[in-house]
Homo-oligomer: A and B are copies of this chain.
Amino acid sequence: MATLTNHQWRLAARPAGAVKPTDWNFTEEPVGSATADKLLVKTLYLSLDPAMRGWMNEGKSYIPPVEIGAVMRAGGVGKVIESNDTRYKAGDFVYGTLNVQEYALMTGKELSPVDSRLAPLPVYLSALGLPGLTAYFGLLDVGKPAPAQTVVVSGAAGAVGSVVGQIAKIKGCRAVGIAGGADKCRYLRDLGFDVAIDYKNSDVKAALRDACPKGIDVFFDNVGGEILDIALTRLARHARIVICGAISQYNNTTPVKGPSNYLSLLVHRATMAGMVVFDYQSRYPDAMREMAAWMQARKLKSREHIVEGIEKFPDALSMLFSGENMGKLVLKVAAE
C-alpha cells in the first residue's frame, strides 16, 4: 500500500477564553500500517461538541484533558482500510474516538460497528450517537419525566437538546425549548416542541411563565448562566434539573457564573443532578435500538449541520459557541 499522509489538528496551547487560531497546529505525518492488533481507519465524519472546549483545559474533569502537542480528541465515523481483526474487514464502517485527523490506528476494542443501511453515517454522531444517548439517559434516567409533565430544555436546537424535546413528546410530556433566533425556534416547532422560546428576542422569564403555567417539572440544561437562573425561578415542586453542560460558560475567563437562584431547590424540594453519558455504556445498544425504531416511525428526527474539510476544523468548532449551527455539528473529512 502506498504511504498515505495524515493531516492532524494538534493542541498547541491551552486557550484562555475563546479558542484562538494559535491554540492549534495543523500537522502532517505519514500514516502507519495496520498491525496485529491495530486496524487502520479512514476518518469520514467527526463530531464537534461543546464538551471539546473543556477537554482543552488543564485539570481534572470527567475525562483527562488533551495534552499539549496531542491530536485533538474527537469521536468520529470512519471506514476500515486495513484490518487483521476478525471482527472488522476493509470497507466496514465504524465509530470510535478517531480524533481530528484523516487516519487513525485503532484496536478493535476501541471501535463499534455502524450500520449504514439503518441511518446515514452522520446520524451516528447525532441522534444515534453520543448526543442522542446523552439526551436519552439524561432525560429518562435522571430527569424521569412522567406523562403530562413539563420538560424544558435549553440549547434546544442543538444535538442533545433537539432529541431531549422529541423524546419528551414521545413520552407524553409537554416540551418547551429555549434557543437563539427565529430560525432555530421554527426548527423546534417543526420537531414538535409545544413552545419554542427565542432567548435572543424575548423576555425568557415572561415566556417561561406563559409556557409553564404549572411550573417546570424537568429542566434539561445544556447552557448554564442566566437561563439556568431564570429556570430556577419557575420550578414545580419536586422538579428535577439535569445538568448536562453549560456552553455559555465554557469560554469564560472569569469564574463560572453559579446559579444564584439555587435556593429555589429548597423552596421547591427540587434536585439538580449532573450526568455523564459514559456511565450508561452497557445500555447503549438497547437505547440505540429504541431510538432507531423511533426514527423509522418518524417520531424522532435527526438533523446534522455538516461542514466540509478537515482544514475547517477550528472555524467549525467556534460555530458551536457563537450558536451558528442548527442541529448536530459534524465535520466531513472524506467522502464515503
Chain A residues near B (Cβ < 8 Å): 60-62, 224, 229, 243-246, 249, 255-276, 279
Contact = CB atoms under 8 A, between A and B. Distances in A.
A260 B261 contact: no
Contacts of A275: 266, 269
Given A229-B258, A256-B261, A271-B271, A266 B244 contact: yes
Give the interface centre of A259, A261, A266, A276 by most chain B CB atoms within 10 Å: A266
Given A255-B260, A261-B256, A263-B243, A276 B269 contact: yes
A269 B274 contact: yes
Given A246-B263, A257-B260, A279 B274 contact: no
Chain copies in the assembled complex:
2
A272 to B, nearest CB: 5
B272 A271 contact: yes
Nearest to A224: B263
A245 B262 CA distance: 11
A263 B274 contact: yes
Contacts of A249: 263
A260 B224 CA distance: 11
Nearest to A250: B263
Nearest to A268: B274
8 contacts: A61-B267, A62-B266, A229-B258, A267-B274, A269-B274, A270-B274, A271-B271, A272-B272
A21 B266 CA distance: 29
A82 B261 CA distance: 46
Contacts of A274: 263-271
10 tightest Cβ-Cβ pairs between the two chains A and B: A258-B258, A266-B274, A265-B274, A258-B260, A258-B259, A271-B273, A272-B272, A255-B260, A256-B260, A62-B267
A166 B262 CA distance: 27
Given A243-B265, A258-B259, 14 more contacts: A60-B267, A224-B263, A245-B266, A249-B263, A256-B262, A258-B258, A258-B261, A259-B259, A259-B262, A263-B274, A266-B274, A270-B273, A270-B274, A271-B272
A279 B272 contact: no
A62 B267 CA distance: 5
A255 to B, nearest CB: 5
Contacts of A245: 266
